[in-house]
Amino acid sequence: MSEPGSAARTRPGWAPFLTPGTRVVLRYRIDRAASPHGEGLTDALGTISAADPTHVHVMTKRGESAVPRELVIAAKQVPPPPQRKDT
């Protein structure tokens, strides 16, 4: 039996859209003790720059975030950001 959070938890074929160039939002687990307000989850919103069997690399507004696939609990493809209108 594998331990919670192990790589065996990753489901083959899950979220096949997690490929470079796709804009996504990923919800994933984080260490509550290390988070500033005790949260257990966080999101990464941006474009996937790379993906492999263990990590999804998302380029966010704050830089690249390497998210371990085993910690992702939800993933959704999202549309491009809205265009700013100059006034």
Class for the domain spanning 19-77:
mainly beta
Nearest alpha-carbon partner for 76 in 12, 18, 19, 21: 18
CA atoms within 13 A on the CB side of 33: 0
Q: Determine the pLDDT at residue 87.
A: 65
Cα separation values, 72 from 9, 56, 81, 83, 84, Å: 10, 9, 22, 29, 31
The per-residue pLDDT for range 1-22, each reduced to its tens digit, is: 344 444 445 566 678 899 999 9
In one letter, which amino acid is 12? P
The per-residue pLDDT for range 36-77, each reduced to its tens digit, is: 888 999 999 999 999 999 999 999 999 999 999 999 999 999
Q: Determine the pLDDT at residue 85.
A: 85
